[in-house]
């Protein structure tokens, strides 16, 4: 009974925390929409509109109302999933985001898988071989991943692996020949092509996503490698590791079962944050590869002052990070039974 009450109290506390965070996010996006130098009215009516037309649209947007009333109307619209219409596309902003976000999710998911599969073992290897040649090579690898601009690696990658070697596809999500062949059911090209049985399109999509996802994943793996190495060094220096070795456990068991087992919870947070950063920060790689994703959509609307789209994109990024934190909390309880109490 006491345990149930504690769980209920914890759930209420977590729900309250999420609500406060979301409300703060709404305030932040509203303020961003009001302090941005772009004029949403001028973006709609154009530079040559008369003063009468300008003032009419100004009142229609509710900008003549008190600030508190504007915020209340904004919260009401968000609660009903009404994010307005994009000036650039003429479509509801929600429709646009549901169309472009899956492309970025596909790209970021492949990238984080690459980053985690490469970064975690390299981080463990570097920690086990601290100050040896393997450690130095891995640290150089990580430093290069952090130092090289992603747009530069993207252009070099296209030049070498696409134009010269022909190993991967070029810009876009698939070859031009296949555009329009697959019905857009989920807007995830790999899923839609598989559902439709268009395996040529599926292979083309894989061929096009490999290079940008690998480059993004390399940048992400550099961060994951450094953090894994740091966590592992902290565990390797603990007394229980020495005890395990004295008892005759193999080095493999000591490192992977005991030391690595104790950093899994920390790595969940690192990978989740890296994934969120990929969803948010894929703008440059999407630009280089002409990838029609969330980052390209945000950039294009920001340049023309389409505040409905910009504010919604900021809100979406915040919600993504909140969702990733909630998922991390759930995974904590999976990987560490002590947190379930």
Distance CA 172, CA 211 (A): 11
pLDDT of residue 173 exceeding 90: no
Rounded to whole angstroms, what are the CA distances from 32 to 60, 74, 175, 221, 307? 20, 13, 38, 32, 9
Rounded to whole angstroms, what are the CA distances from 143 to 131, 222, 224? 16, 7, 12
Would you say the C-alpha torsion 117, 119, 120, 124 has a positive or negative sign?
Answer: positive
The token duo for 55 is: 């003032």
pLDDT of residue 229 exceeding 60: yes
pLDDT at residue 337 in the model: 58
Domain boundaries, the chain: 2-79, 95-340
Position of tokens 């899994």? 264
Specify whether the backbone of 92 is left (phi greater than 0), alpha (psi in -120 to 50) or beta.
beta
DSSP designation for 188 = -
pLDDT at residue 280 in the model: 72
pLDDT of residue 171 exceeding 80: yes
pLDDT at residue 10 in the model: 63
Over residues 174-225, the pLDDT tens digits come to 888 888 788 888 889 899 899 988 889 899 999 999 999 999 999 889 889 9
Total number of residues shown for the chain: 341
Q: What is the mean pLDDT of the chain?
A: 83
More confident residue, 341 or 212: 212
Task: Answer yes or no: are the C-beta atoms of 199 and 193 closer than 8 Å.
Answer: yes
Q: Give pTM, 2 decimals.
A: 0.83
- Counting Cα atoms < 13 Å in the Cβ hemisphere of 291 gives 31
More confident residue, 336 or 138: 138
Over residues 133-149, the pLDDT tens digits come to 988 999 898 888 878 88
Over residues 247-277, the pLDDT tens digits come to 777 777 788 877 888 888 888 888 988 888 8
Radius of gyration of the chain, Cα coordinates, nearest whole angstrom: 24
pLDDT at residue 39 in the model: 66
Over residues 1-13, the pLDDT tens digits come to 555 666 666 667 6
Helix, strand, or coil (residue 85): strand
Helix, strand, or coil (residue 92): strand
DSSP designation for 179 = T
Q: What is the mean pLDDT of residues 77-88?
A: 84
pLDDT at residue 96 in the model: 92
pLDDT at residue 38 in the model: 66
pLDDT of residue 331 exceeding 90: no
- What percentage of the chain carries pLDDT values higher than 70? 89
Distance CA 178, CA 204 (A): 8
Q: Look at the domain 95-340 and name its fold.
A: MetI-like fold (1.10.3720)
Over residues 37-77, the pLDDT tens digits come to 666 777 666 666 777 777 777 777 777 778 888 888 888 88
């Amino acid at each position: 009974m006491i345990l149930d009450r504690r769980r209920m109290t914890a759930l209420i506390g977590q729900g309250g925390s999420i609500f406060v965070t979301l409300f703060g996010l709404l305030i932040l996006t509203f303020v961003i929409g009001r302090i941005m130098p772009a004029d949403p009215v001028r973006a709609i009516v154009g530079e040559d509109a008369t003063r009468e037309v300008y003032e009419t649209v100004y009142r229609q947007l509710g900008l003549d109302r008190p600030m508190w009333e504007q915020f209340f109307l904004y919260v009401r619209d968000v609660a009903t999933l009404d994010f307005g219409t994009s000036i650039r596309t003429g479509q509801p902003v929600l429709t646009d985001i549901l169309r472009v976000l899956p492309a970025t999710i596909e790209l970021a998911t492949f990238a984080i898988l690459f980053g985690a599969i490469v970064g975690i073992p390299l981080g463990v290897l570097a920690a086990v071989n601290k100050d040896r040649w393997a450690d130095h090579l891995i640290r150089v690898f990580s430093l290069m991943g952090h130092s090289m601009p992603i747009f530069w690696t993207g252009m070099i990658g296209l030049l070498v692996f696409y134009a010269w070697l022909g190993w991967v596809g070029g810009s876009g999500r698939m070859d031009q020949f296949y555009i329009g062949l697959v019905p857009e059911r989920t807007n995830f090209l790999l899923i839609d092509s598989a559902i439709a049985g268009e395996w040529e399109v599926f292979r083309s999509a894989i061929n096009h996503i490999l290079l940008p996802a690998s480059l993004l994943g390399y940048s992400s793996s550099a961060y994951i490698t450094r953090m894994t190495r740091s966590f592992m060094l902290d565990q390797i220096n603990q007394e229980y590791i020495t005890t395990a070795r004295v008892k005759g456990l193999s080095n493999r068991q000591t490192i992977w079962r005991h030391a690595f087992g104790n950093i899994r919870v920390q790595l969940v947070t690192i990978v989740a944050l890296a994934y969120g950063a990929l969803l948010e920060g894929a703008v440059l790689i999407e630009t280089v590869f002409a990838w029609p994703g969330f980052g390209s959509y945000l950039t294009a609307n920001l340049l023309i002052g389409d505040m409905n789209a910009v504010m919604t994109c900021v809100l979406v990024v915040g919600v993504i990070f909140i969702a990733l934190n909630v998922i991390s909390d759930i995974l904590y309880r999976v990987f560490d039974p002590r947190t379930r109490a």
